Amino acid sequence: MINHPSPNFDARKDGRIKYLILHYTGMATGQEALDRLCDAEAAVSAHYLIEEDGRVFSLVDEEMRAWHAGVSKWEDDVDINDLSVGIEIVNTGHPYPGYESVYKPFTEKQMQALIPLAQSIVKRHEIKACHVVGHSDVAWRRKIDPGELFDWKRLSEEGVGLWPRKQTSTGDEEVNLDIFMNRLSQYGYDTEGWKEDATQLISAFQRHFRPQDFSGKPDAETFFILEDLLKQKAN
């Protein structure tokens, strides 16, 4: 662990730490991201950054409120920064207008560094498995990180976060969109005004829980996955 303090934090108001939020940096290099997360003018940060070679940088003390989630919502919580620990994983991310990038898998060394760090965080703060989420889950209107190449399944197998159990039925039953959105809301997603952006919201769910197809189509398999996650969450 490399100590690399960022000035971009303030005091936690609530004091509870309920969530672990994962991000990718979405910049050309890890150094660039590290510089930005420690630049007072940028006013962004995270508690940790994990380089491609597996080095872990500690930027903000977990007891303090880092600035990584922005406008976000999960369940009834709107100040996600106040209630979470945030980890930035170095990855150039998806391209967007004005930024060229080829989104690539996270490195094995990153996963090997992330797993024990995440295990320690969820254990020390007693964070529920269903409260380990991505930036794209809590801010799906604006964000798609850490994206469909992040291995949530492996993380869950290591005891961090939920992953759907094998589906017994993936038939082509009609999915009622109102019910589907209601379930997404129960799971934690902010579904307000979903009619405008249903595809984007469903796509965010799929990037996390069914990354092989994140077209945003509300198919039966996606619905069964969500139903299973709700059952796991209730236990």
- Interface ranges with Zn ion (CB under 5 A): 23, 135, 145
Minimum distance between the CB of residue 158 and Zn ion, rounded to whole angstroms?
A: 21
Q: To the nearest whole angstrom, how small is the minimum distance from the Cβ of residue 90 to Zn ion?
A: 12
Q: Which residue blocks in the chain are alpha helix, DSSP H? A: 30-37, 80-83, 108-125, 135-138, 152-157, 177-187, 198-209, 220-234
By the 8 A CB rule, do 132 and 114 touch? no
Tell me the C-alpha to C-alpha distance, in Å, between residue 216 and each of 36, 111, 197. Answer: 32, 27, 10
Residue 219 φ/ψ, nearest 5 degrees: -80, 170
Contact between residue 183 and residue 228 where contact means Cβ atoms under 8 Å apart: no
Determine which helix (DSSP H) or strand (DSSP E) holds 42, and give its type and residue range. Answer: none
Nearest to Zn ion of 135, 210 (CB atom): 135
Of residues 52 and 227, the one with the C-beta less far from Zn ion: 52
Residue with tokens 């590290």: 34
Q: What phi, psi does 165 have (nearest 5°)? A: -75, 165
Give the nearer residue to Zn ion in terms of CB position, either 23 or 210: 23
User: What minimum distance in Å lies between the beta carbon of 136 and Zn ion?
Assistant: 8
Catalytic residue annotation: 88
Nearer to Zn ion, 23 or 208 (CB): 23
Query: What is the nearest approach in angstroms of Zn ion to the Cβ of residue 172?
Result: 35
